[in-house]
């Protein structure tokens, strides 16, 4: 998070950010780190998390943030979501909860066990509606970690994606999640809307899953 924040400052001439948005938060800890680095006020930190248990914990730990128990999708409505039970599984497994099904053949090579399943129904809105709820002219620091659904989240903003100044997103180079859009498709989408990739950090699955940071080119 510190590298992301410093890259933001360097790209935008050391003008500090005014707000933070984290989509697919799980625990809001990355938003908290960004807030500590930037000094953004509590009411300008926005959290989006569809997992019922994770959302409840976020509200308990960070009541000062503006949190939305929602999924973000290019196809809004009531949708299925694999909400891995927090009372059964550790945080890093709960964090793999997703709208998408896992590519079992790929993931089992690394996990050595079936992926937990607990499908529930959640409410999804698109990015355009999210921006209307937040009601800010633009969003400065945006972190998206949605387990194989990054492309759909970005697409759901439409032309309004230009209201996002920077992006810290999780991407996959192979189909870790069934029928997901992979890195080059995310890259094409963001290039089309005038974003420049600053760096990629390979993290998991032999480097096939990692974090990519993008800045809006004004």
Sequential DSSP letters for 85-117: -TTTS-HHHHTT-BSSPB-HHHHHHHHSSPPP-
What's the average model confidence in pLDDT over 104-127? 81
Q: What is the pLDDT of residues 163-213, one digit of tens each?
A: 999 999 999 998 888 999 999 999 999 999 999 999 999 877 777 889 999
- In the prediction, which pLDDT does 92 show? 86
Overall pTM > 0.75: yes
71-72 and 119-125 beta bridge pairing: parallel
Cβ neighbors of 56 (< 8 A, separation 6 or more) are: none
Distance in angstroms (rounded) separating the CA atoms of residues 67 and 98: 18
- In the prediction, which pLDDT does 105 show? 65
Share of the chain above pLDDT 70, in %: 95
């Amino acid at each position: 998070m510190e590298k992301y924040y410093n890259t933001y400052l360097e790209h935008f001439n050391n003008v500090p950010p005014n707000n933070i948005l984290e989509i697919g938060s799980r625990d809001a800890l990355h938003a908290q780190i960004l807030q500590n680095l930037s000094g953004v006020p509590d009411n300008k930190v926005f959290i989006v998390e569809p997992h019922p248990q994770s959302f409840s914990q976020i509200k308990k730990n960070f009541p000062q943030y503006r949190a939305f128990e929602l999924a973000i999708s290019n196809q809004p409505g009531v949708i299925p979501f694999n909400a891995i039970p927090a009372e059964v599984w550790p945080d890093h497994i709960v964090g793999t909860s997703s709208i998408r099904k896992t590519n079992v053949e790929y993931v089992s090579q690394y996990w050595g066990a079936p992926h937990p399943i607990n499908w529930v129904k959640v409410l999804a809105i698109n990015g355009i509606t999210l921006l209307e709820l937040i009601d800010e002219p633009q969003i400065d620091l945006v972190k998206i970690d949605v387990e194989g659904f990054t492309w759909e989240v970005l697409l759901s903003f439409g032309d309004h994606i230009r209201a996002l100044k920077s992006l810290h997103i999780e991407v996959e180079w192979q189909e870790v999640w069934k029928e997901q859009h992979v890195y080059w498709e995310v890259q094409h989408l963001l290039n089309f809307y005038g974003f420049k990739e600053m760096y990629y950090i390979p993290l998991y699955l032999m480097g096939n899953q990692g974090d990519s940071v993008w800045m809006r080119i004004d």
